[in-house]
Chains A and B, each alone.
Chain A
Amino acid sequence: MGTPRPLTPEDRARYEWQMWTPGFGEAGQEKLKGASVLISRCGGLGSPAAYELAAAGVGRLVIAHAGNVKPSDLNRQLLMTHDWLGKPRVESAVRRLRELNPTLEIEGVPENINESNAAELVGRVDLVLDAAPLFEERLLMNREVVAQGKILVECAMYDMDANVTTVIPGRTPCLACLFPEKPPAWKRQFPVFGGVSGTAACIGAIEAIKVLADFGQPLLGEMLLMDLRHMTFRKMKVRRDPNCPVCRRLWD
């Protein structure tokens, strides 16, 4: 975890209202200022998650997302703007985050997570907020989080359903414990309202904030299932796979 960094008078003014949160305070804010988070990708889920983390003052954000803004991004990818159609998504995201909070260090990487960049990108941060639309990317980030002893906040949605869980290697099941292989039914395109991906994003962001600032009770060994069609929220216990090829060695 990063080293807490002292606040400036400007920081105190900016974060005053959240520092009133019991259990957080100025010490929590200093931890956030010293922390770093990778968000991949920065779409319907990653955009609002990154925006919340920037607003809350996480000191360094690494945003990874390839491609250019398309009209079909704009119903949910809130860091993309109409005037940026056809231009790189990551540039739009970084620009919007800097507009919101110019005191942060924000790095844009115009790539999605892949075999050749996963170790390096995960290595740059304390925590990964997983907002990728492909299981290959999610399992790669999980592998690197476990190998490097980082933290993974896993957020996902489909249609009107969403779920969030937090992985701390050696303390909780990892993603490969939960699904060791890519599920056969998953399709790259899926039904999505921005309000659904944004719900998962805000819950993921507050999970990241709690873990980084060490307060509250994160979803460790638990998965929050959210059915927004019926407004049903359930917290389920998830289990570690004792034969998990990714994290088993941490438990021996």
Chain B
Amino acid sequence: MQIEVEYVAQMRSAAGGATRETVTLAQGATVRDLVAHLANRHGDTLAALLLAEDGRPRSSTLVFVGEEQVDWECPPELSDSAKVTFLAPLAGG
């Protein structure tokens, strides 16, 4: 299935500068599977924003499926054409 990924702010530069990309995952994949795929695809800079040192999802990163934030602890299964947005919080003032 195809997943549309959107990166916000620092996530964008960590993912190589693109705002959006499409990723192909197996049916039944979850947000965590997507994160593992992206961390592997884009390397350490993005991986550091997505995953903590212990390999668990980083709690300070916000993940939205469609227009709703999802829980890292029990990430939902994704459906075909889902749009997933990653936001590392901003503090510019």
Q: Which residues of A contact B (CB under 8 A)?
A: 41, 43-46, 130-135, 138, 155-159, 161-163, 178-186, 190, 192, 197, 225, 227, 229-230, 234-239
**In whole Å, how far is B68's beta carbon from the nearest beta carbon of chain A?**
5
Question: For residue A185, which residues in chain B have a CB less than 8 angstroms away from its CB?
Answer: 10, 14, 48-49, 88
- Note all chain B residues with C-beta closer than 8 A to A180: 59-60
**A-facing mask of B73-93, CB < 8 A → 1, else 0?**
000000000000101111111
Known: A132-B91, A238-B69. 10 other contacts (CB 8 A): A133-B93, A134-B91, A155-B93, A156-B91, A178-B62, A181-B60, A182-B60, A184-B49, A236-B67, A239-B71
Write out the residue numbers on chain A whose beta carbons fall within 8 Å of the beta carbon of B22.
none
Selected A-B contacts with CB under 8 Å, 6 pairs: A158-B90, A180-B60, A183-B61, A225-B8, A236-B67, A239-B70
**Which B-chain residue is minimally distant from A135 (CB atoms)?**
B91
- In the complex, chain A residues whose CB is within 8 Å of the CB of B10: 158, 185-186
What chain A residues lie within 8 Å of B26 (beta carbons)? none
C-alpha spacing A236/B61, complex, angstroms: 14
A79 to B64, CA, bound (A): 36
With the chains together, A239 CA to B67 CA distance in Å? 11
Interface contact B64-A157, CB-CB below 8 Å:
no
How far, in whole Å, are A158 and B9 apart by their CA atoms in the complex? 6
A219 to chain B, nearest CB (A): 13
C-alpha gap A180/B71 in the complex (Å): 13
State whether A43 and B93 are in contact (beta carbons under 8 Å apart), knowing that A178-B62, A236-B85, A238-B62 are contacts in the complex.
Answer: yes
Whole-angstrom CA separation of A180 from B62 in the bound complex:
11
A45 and B93 form a contact (CB under 8 A): yes
- B24 contacts the other chain (Cβ, under 8 Å)? no
By a CB distance below 8 angstroms, the chain B residues around A225 are 8, 85, 87
The answer to whether A161 touches B9, judged by C-beta atoms less than 8 angstroms apart, is yes
Which residues of the partner chain A approach B69 to less than 8 Å between Cβ atoms? 236-239
The residue of chain A having its C-beta at the shortest distance from the C-beta of B11 within the complex is A185
Are B92 and A45 in touch, CB under 8 angstroms? yes
A-B contact count (CB 8 A): 99
Q: Number of contacting residues on B, CB 8 A? A: 26
Q: Would you call B40 an interface residue if the criterion is a C-beta within 8 Å of the partner chain's C-beta atoms?
A: no
Contacts of A135 in B (CB 8 A): 89, 91
Q: Is B19 an interface residue (CB 8 A)?
A: yes
Q: Is the CB–CB distance between A190 and B60 below 8 Å?
A: no
> With A and B bound together, what is the CA distance between A157 and B92 in angstroms?
5
Interface centre among B8, B58, B93 (most CB of A within 10 A): B93
- With a cutoff of 8 Å between Cβ atoms, the chain A residues found around residue B64 in the complex are 236
CB atoms of B68 and A237 under 8 A apart: yes
- A183:B71 contact, CB within 8 angstroms: no
A62 to chain B, nearest CB (A): 16
Q: Is B68 a contact partner of A41 (Cβ separation < 8 A)? A: no
A129 to B6, CA, bound (A): 28
Interface centre among A158, A178, A235 (most CB of B within 10 A): A158
The reply to whether B59 and A44 form a contact with Cβ atoms under 8 Å apart is: no
**Alpha-carbon gap, A41 to B68, bound state (A):** 30
Instruction: Tell me the complex Cα distance, A236–B14, Å.
Output: 22
